[in-house]
């Protein structure tokens, strides 16, 4: 599992499926074994990926819970075989398939061998664009399947230059894999939304805030808005904890910032040559990869206007 990099097409991240936390951990561990680059060796329905109990335990278990890894992996592998996934395609078409076509459990070797379903392979291999990637360790401390799903969605949206998402509650249930469940808003908020947000905020490199939308008629709520940013940007947030676009704009408008970072590796040729293109691209680069602004004494907040006392 070189670098434990998990790469999936955005269509697969946004697909609908139901899964337990242990199944998700097993699935992601197997996906992290796939070289998804366009020029990578071809993977077929015969290609097998083996994961040992010890490998999974090192990432997702503590010393006190490691004794349960063998049992959990066996149960997860049995359930994973039955899981189906619905992938939205163009022209309102939907692909109904499975994640895996075969699971071989070896109790003697304490390992699982997975064969991915043929129809799902194009969403995991030889990806050229429109994909989501993160390190397996980034979700290692998430104990809820809802937290893991929400984290993937956040990474997916940020990769598409989206830093806020508004949707009705039914659409939220769909992308979270809980369609038809938690029909009462109070249950949805307490058991899924707030739990997932709290855990992502506590255990990952992202910060999420949520606003709920009341129904235009009658009582209750009909939708929500999620706002999210990397924690590295916390110093650029407003009083409500959300990322301040005005603050980011003031940074990219700063002449010294342009002088210091006009050779940033993520800038296009136009971004390095044209002021307007530089500002436009930097707004997204700052939000997607704030850690890359790491020149000595030139952190992002150093370009903010000095507060007068």
Regarding whether 217 and 258 lie in a shared domain, the answer is no
Domain assignment present for residue 282? The answer is yes
Q: Residue 146: inside a domain, yes or no?
A: no
Same domain? 109 vs 209? no
Per-residue pLDDT at 209 exceeds 80:
yes
Which one of 43-47, 136-140, 215-219 scores highest in mean pLDDT?
136-140
Residue 307 has pLDDT above 60, yes or no: no
Q: What is the three-class DSSP state of 190?
A: helix
Range of the domain at 196: 159-230
The stretch 118-142 carries a mean pLDDT of: 94
- Specify whether 177 is located in the same domain as 53: no
Over residues 100-105, mean pLDDT:
92
Q: What's residue 45's pLDDT?
A: 85
How does residue 308 score in pLDDT terms, banded at 50, 70 and 90?
very low
Tokens 């990397």, residue located:
230
Whether residue 79 sits in one domain with residue 54: yes
pLDDT-derived band at 309 (thresholds 50, 70, 90) equals: very low
CA distances from 248 to 283, 293, 294 (A): 7, 13, 16
Torsion of the alpha carbons at 88, 100, 150 and 4, rounded to the nearest 10:
-130
Taking the CA atoms of 88, 92, 98 and 101 in sequence, report the sign of the dihedral they define. Answer: negative
Provide the strand spans (E) within 169-288: 206-214, 221-230
Q: Measure CA 44 to chain center.
A: 26
Overall average pLDDT of the 255-281 stretch = 96
> Does 135 have pLDDT greater than 70?
yes
Entry field: residues in the chain: 309
Q: Are residues 84 and 210 in the same domain?
A: no
Burial class (CB in 10 A: 0-12, 13-18, 19+), 294: exposed
Average pLDDT, the chain: 92
CATH number, domain containing residue 195: 1.10.10.10
61 and 122 in a single domain? The answer is yes
At residue 279, does pLDDT exceed 70? yes
Q: Which of 204, 162, 212 is nearest to 188 (CA)?
A: 212
Same domain, 131 and 192: no
Write the pLDDT tens digit of every residue in 151-169: 999 999 999 999 999 999 9
> Quick one: 298 and 251 in the same domain?
yes
- Which of 87, 107, 140 finishes a domain? 140
Stretch among 133-137, 170-174, 200-204, 301-305 having the lowest mean pLDDT:
301-305
Based on the domain organization, do 54 and 120 belong to the same domain?
A: yes
Q: Are residues 59 and 132 in the same domain?
A: yes
pLDDT digits (tens, 9 = 90+) for 57-85: 999 998 888 888 888 988 998 899 999 99
How many domains does the chain contain in total? Answer: 3
Residue-wise pLDDT tens digits, 36-63 = 888 888 888 889 999 998 999 999 998 8
């Amino acid at each position: 599992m070189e670098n434990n990099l998990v790469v999936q097409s955005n269509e697969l991240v946004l697909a609908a499926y139901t899964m337990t936390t242990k199944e998700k951990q097993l699935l992601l561990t197997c996906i992290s074994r796939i070289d998804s680059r366009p020029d990578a060796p071809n993977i077929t329905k015969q290609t097998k990926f083996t994961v040992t109990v010890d490998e999974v335990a090192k990432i997702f278990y503590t010393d006190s819970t490691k004794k349960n890894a063998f049992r959990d992996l066996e149960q997860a592998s049995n359930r994973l075989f039955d899981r189906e996934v619905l992938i939205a395609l163009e022209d309102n078409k939907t692909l109904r398939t499975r994640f895996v076509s075969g699971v071989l459990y070896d109790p003697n070797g304490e390992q699982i061998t997975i064969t991915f379903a043929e129809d799902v392979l194009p969403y995991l291999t030889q990806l050229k664009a429109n994909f989501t990637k993160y390190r397996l360790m980034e979700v290692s401390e998430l104990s809820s399947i809802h937290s893991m799903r929400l984290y993937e969605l956040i990474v997916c949206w940020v990769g598409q230059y989206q830093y806020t998402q508004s949707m009705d509650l039914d659409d939220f249930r769909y992308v979270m894999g809980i369609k038809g469940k938690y029909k009462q808003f109070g249950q949805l908020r307490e058991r899924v939304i707030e739990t997932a947000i709290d855990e992502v905020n506590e255990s990952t490199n992202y910060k999420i805030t949520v606003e709920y939308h009341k129904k235009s008629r009658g009582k209750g709520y009909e939708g929500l808005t999620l706002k999210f940013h990397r924690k590295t940007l916390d110093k650029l947030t407003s009083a409500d904890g959300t990322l301040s676009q005005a603050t980011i704009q003031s940074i990219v408008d700063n002449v010294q910032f342009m002088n210091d970072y006009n050779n940033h590796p993520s800038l296009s040729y136009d971004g390095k040559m044209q002021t307007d293109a530089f500002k436009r691209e930097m707004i997204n680069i700052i939000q997607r990869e704030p850690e890359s602004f790491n020149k000595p004494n030139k952190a992002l907040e150093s370009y903010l206007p000095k507060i007068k006392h």
